[in-house]
Amino acid sequence: MLFNSIGYLFFLPLSVAAYYALPPKWRWVLLLAASYLFYGMWKAEYLLLLMISTAASYFAAIGMEKQPTKARKKPYLWTALLVNLGMLFVFKYLGFFSEIIAGVAELTGASGKLPVWNILLPVGISFYTFQTLGYVIDVYRGVAKAERHAGIYALYVSFFPQLVAGPIERARNLMPQFREKHDFNPAMFTSGLRLILWGMFKKMVIADRLAMLVQPVFSQPDYFHGIQIAITLPLLIIQVYADFSGYTDIAIGSARLMGFRLSRNFDRPFSARSIAEFWSRWHITLTTWLRDYVYFSLPGKYRGKTAAWRLNLNLIITFTLVGFWHGAHWNFLFFGLLHGLFMTFANISKPAMERFNRLSGLASAPRLNHAINVMATFMLVSATGFFFGQHSFQSTLTLIRNIADFHDSGIKLMMMLQNNDFIIGVLLIVFMLWFEYLVKVRNFSRAFMNKPLIVRYSAYLTMLFFLLIFGIFSQQEFFYFQF
């Protein structure tokens, strides 16, 4: 069931109304049933995988907690890792590796034709797998208690607002909330509605409209060159941001209607002054998950120059995994690898850049230095857009080759400027970034809530009007559902 569907328009209010109508001790039953219904609407068979992941991590955590030493806990930990990562490998990565093996066999002249497995990817498996793995690792490390209530734990894994595309919640944040008594809170309820409206606006008005400009370039790369590709790359990154952060706003808003507080997943990433800062603001729950469970687990206890190089290598490994998490494609591997290399280069060149800033005078002009760093970061992130998507790697190479062809760029630019969809898209981008600046930096929300009731509701109706007039109502899937 998509957030931007008629079905969800009925499903959410009914779920919220039933939640508050039931006695608190039975609310978890309603939410669990609603979550399984929500997920099963895609494909009922997917529920079996969700239940296997839930059961494996639930029993492994209880088994670990009964053991006195970490050595005796490890069999339970490895069982949970094997089940969860095994399912993720089979359904997400088996096709990728079987293609590589088949290709190598063909090159070496191996007899027989090896099969290539292409299995339909269950929606949300990358998200709930990481959520269950984070839980069992926390129990193994002793930073979380094993949940004994099977229903509460199953709800933690499957909670419908964040099930299919995050945020990736930690047990210590979300699980205790299922035991709390949530009375109806008008302020939290209206805050949730505002987030849902803003998320829908970002998805249906901004992201889906930008997709009409972006998709043709990646699906037919031979027909686009120079300035067309150069403008499309940042549009792609902004489209993905509007789409994914729009989903996150709807998820957080939906949970707030029932009194639940989900983790923040975005924090104005296009204001970042470095690639490292960008990832501290973009898909925050994924990057912090990989930081805590992958980066800090890699070998790094070295001294001197060896320590610096080892930490940089760990950074490259971690962000290559960030790319590979997004999809089993060469594009995503290069996407993650590039981000890791960019951060490694920034670490290595930091003394030289500080010296350059002093000599050039940028150190004494902090606002100019800040603006240059923001623009440079956005350009680097946009450049990695070549590799962000499930288009073929051959299409990526074609785009890289064609971007160097700036023949007739002036004419092509004028044609783009005469395209109404392009102009509307740019205006919407400016509005989105300006509005989020007001909310996050200028504390617009508090000032807005102090306005008279007629002013607030006029603003809501205006945004709803623009959503109805300019929204794309073809029920486009959210971009991150493919991961």
Q: In angstroms, what is the C-alpha Rg of the chain?
A: 24
Catalytic-residue membership of 326: yes
- Two structure tokens written together for 244: 């994914």
Using DSSP's 3-state secondary structure scheme, residue 303 falls into coil
Cβ partners under 8 Å of residue 4, min gap 6: 200, 203, 204, 475, 476, 478
Using DSSP's 3-state secondary structure scheme, residue 322 falls into helix
Angle at 115 between CA 111 and CA 121, to 5 degrees: 160
Whether 470 contacts 209, CB under 8 Å: yes
Element (H, E) at 38: helix 27-40
As a whole number of angstroms, the distance between CA 302 and CA 321 comes to 23
User: Within 122-261, where are the H helices?
Assistant: 125-141, 150-158, 171-174, 186-200, 208-219, 226-256
As a whole number of angstroms, the distance between CA 293 and CA 77 comes to 13
Whether 129 contacts 84, CB under 8 Å: yes
As a whole number of angstroms, the distance between CA 415 and CA 139 comes to 58
- Two structure tokens written together for 275: 């690639």
In 3D, which of 398, 303, 384, 312 has the Cα closest to residue 349? 312
User: Within 282-365, where are the H helices?
Assistant: 284-293, 304-326, 330-360
**Cβ-based neighbour number of residue 408 at 10 Å:** 13
**Locus of tokens 């959410």:** 12
Spot the catalytic one: 225, 283, 326, 329. Answer: 326
- Two structure tokens written together for 139: 């129990």
Q: Which residues of 46-83 are buried (b: 16+ CB within 10 A; e: fewer)?
A: bbebbeebbbbbbebbbbbbeeeeeeebeebbebbbeb
Active site residues: 326
